[in-house]
Structure formats: C-alpha cells, structure tokens
Amino acid sequence: MLRFFLRRFTVAVLVALTVLTLAFLLTRLSGDLAISIAGPNATAADVETIRQVYGLNRPLHVQYFDWLGRAVQGDFGDSFFFRDRVANLIASRMSVTLTLGLVGLGIALVVSLPLGILAAVREGTWVDRAVSLVALIGQAMPSFWLGLVLMVVFGLQLGWLPISGTGSWEHYVMPGVVLAFSAIPSLTRLTRSGMIEALASDYIRTARAKGLSRLSILVKHGFRNAAIPVVSIAAVQLGFMLGGSIVIETVFALHGIGYLAWESISKNDFPVVQAVVLVLALLYIGLTLAADLLNAVLDPRLRTG
C-alpha cells in the first residue's frame, strides 16, 4: 500500500508542477502585463515604471522561480485590483465554492445512484430507457440556461428561493441543482453499467441461491462492487464542479473562487488568476489522489496495478 501511495503521490506532484508552470506561462503569453496593468491611457514612462515595480523587467525564468518559491510557501503576492493579499482573497471565498461543490455533488449522488440502480434492475424496459433519456437531457442542457430558468420560475415567479447571495442554505439550492446536472448523466450511466456487470456475476447467483433478500443482494453485494468506479468519477466530478463553478457563481452572484476568477480576468489581475488556477488544480489533484487511495482500499487488486 505504501508503494502504491508513493507512486500516486509522485505523479500528483509532477502534475501540480506542470499546472503551476502553465499557469505562469499563460499569463505571460496573453500579452504585455505591464501595459495591461497600466491601462490604455498610460504613457511609456508609466509602463516602464510598472515593469520595474512589479519585477516584470527581469528575465522570465527569474520571475518564474521567484513566483514558484513564494507559491510553495503559500505566498501568491498582492492583488492589483483588490489591494489585498491574494492568499487572503482566496481563503475568504473558498468556503462558498467548497459548499457549492459539495451540495452539487450530494444532489448528483442522491439522484444518480438510485436512477442507475433502477435502470440496471429494469434493464431493457421502459424504465431503463426513461433513465437514459433523463441522463441525455442532463448532458445536453447548458448550465447557464438552466440556472436562468430556475431563477425565473422558483425565484421570481414562485418566490420560493433566493436568486443570489450566500446568506443561508436556501441560497445554495438552485446553484447546487444546476451544478449537479452536469454530473448526474455520467454518474447514472456508470452506476447502471457497473450494476449490470455486478448482477451478472457468479457471486450474485451464489447469494441468490443462499436465499438472501433482494435488497441485500442489490446493496451489500451488487452495489458494493459497482461503486468502485463511481468513487473515482465522483471525485473527478467534484473537481470539475469546483473548477467549473465560475459560470454558476457568476449567474447566481455567489462570491466564491469562480466569481473571483472572473473578476480577476476582467481586471487583468494576473496574480489572482495564477493563484486561482493553481489552487483549483491542487484541489482536483488532491481529490483524484484520494479517490485512487480509496479505490485501493476497496479493491486490493488495484495496488499492484
């Protein structure tokens, strides 16, 4: 198990370094940062002053290693627009994005797991086809469009839920539903295929021959083995939700990491953009690593893979 963890951890560190490097380079390749910071009305002298103040006149590799050394210590510099430490900005908004992601994943699992099991049990029937249709609709539906529809119906017409802000748990219901719709199709299909394969296995036939109840066979024997790939996909989907929450947070005016990224991009605040990309990537890598370790616990055969 230790060797398995070390292999996965080494890969995770290499991926993190790659993402960190790309985040640094992409902000530099987008144009002259000094001109972007100075604005369109700045003079050549103003631009040159900004280059000297922010160290943009130094060689690129010197800037990179300086930023890398500080980023490893959690120091992402200062924001040009918000006039605050980047680390403080991210820390103050992280709870909103994490809450939104967990709510979205929870809703997705509550909906997709029963649907996947039901479709597998009723394979080939109208129930199976109906579940597949629901998954197809969820896959094709644009998240921003669904968010606007929910806001109009449940927020403005019915008045059941607030359409913006983060004051209470009710503020996360509609954004969580919208975010969940992106994960429900893949989780439903994977649960269905895993359950179909599990129910056709020899140990299921043995369990039936022993006279075990149908519920025990489905949950204790069938779903336990079908859940292994679902764990990986759930972790990946949570990473996608955290990284892709920029659209949802913008639509519902939730001031989380995604909304911070949108504000920073629109204001050419590249220290914040770099830090947000890195933090979201680290969260995604960490979730993937945790899923690999959990799968290795559930299925010892994976430790030798």
* pLDDT tens readout for residues 246-257: 778 878 878 888
Decide: 66 and 271 in contact? Cβ < 8 Å. no
Q: Are residues 272 and 169 in the same domain?
A: yes
Residue 199 has pLDDT above 80, yes or no: no
Q: Are residues 22 and 163 in the same domain?
A: no
Per-residue tokens: 26: 């992409």
**How many Å apart are CA 122 and CA 84, to the nearest integer?**
57
pLDDT band at residue 39 using 50, 70 and 90 as cut-offs: low
Q: Are residues 106 and 230 in the same domain?
A: yes
Q: Distances from the Cα of 200 to the Cαs of 118, 195, 205, 230, 263, in angstroms?
A: 15, 9, 8, 18, 52
Q: What pLDDT sits at residue 221? A: 62
Q: What pLDDT sits at residue 86? A: 82
Backbone phi, psi, residue 85, to 5°: -65, 140
Question: Among 266, 267, 268, 248, which residue's Cα sits nearest to residue 258?
Answer: 248
**Which of 72, 102, 134 represents a domain boundary (last residue)?**
72
Neighbours of 166 (CB within 10 A): 20
Q: What pLDDT sits at residue 121? A: 79
Residue 17 belongs to domain spanning: 2-72
pLDDT band at residue 2 using 50, 70 and 90 as cut-offs: low
**Which of 15, 43, 72 represents a domain boundary (last residue)?**
72
Q: Which residues fall within 8 angstroms of residue 294, CB to CB, at 6 or more apart?
A: 231
Q: Is residue 83 part of a domain?
A: no
Q: What pLDDT sits at residue 265? A: 78
Q: Are residues 168 and 297 in the same domain?
A: yes
Q: Are residues 255 and 169 in the same domain?
A: yes
Residue 42 has pLDDT above 60, yes or no: yes
pLDDT band at residue 180 using 50, 70 and 90 as cut-offs: confident
Q: Are residues 194 and 262 in the same domain?
A: yes
pTM: 0.74
**Which of 11, 42, 72 represents a domain boundary (last residue)?**
72
